[in-house]
Amino acid sequence: MPFSFLQVANSNTTANYFPIVLQLLFAVGLVTAIIILSDWLGPKRKTSDKLQNFESGIEMKGNARQPMAIKYFLVAILFVLFDVEVIFFYPYAVNFRELGWDGFVAVLMFVGLFVAGFVYVIKKGALNWED
């Protein structure tokens, strides 16, 4: 029987996983080597400025337990909500020919509900920061 690539590709042996294991070992070794070398070769000056916490370039002021405006969380939640809804357009874009008119009507209903939700958010003033 002549040699066939399909026979080799279909056989599930540990030899087939060797390149993956080799790549993982190389990646872990490289990351470890970079961390160790940067610690070994890097500067070791620990001044008070370097030991301070740094967040987004803003100086630390007061206690971190101060109450925060709910508007920030509301906008974050609305962003996640509308961002996740947009993800559902991808399957339709990939299969729009197979879905036909039924799929088109379903997407129109989805977009209608999407727009209705957005209008509701605007009417409620959820995105007005001046309040």
* Tokens of residue 127, six digits: 């995105």
Whether domain 13-124 has CATH 2.70.150.10: the reply is: no
Rounded CA separation 72/65 (Å)? 16
Rounded CA separation 77/82 (Å)? 9
Structural domain spans, the chain: 13-124
- Tokens 């947009």 found at: 86
Alpha helices in the chain (DSSP H): 5-10, 18-41, 48-51, 70-87, 89-124
Quote the distance between the C-alpha of residue 15 and its chain's center. 33
pLDDT tens digits in sequence order for the chain, 131 residues long: 555 555 555 677 878 889 999 999 999 999 999 999 999 998 888 888 777 776 666 666 777 677 777 777 888 888 888 788 778 888 888 888 888 899 899 989 988 988 898 889 888 887 777 75
Query: Are 78 and 126 spatial neighbours (Cβ–Cβ below 8 Å)?
Result: yes
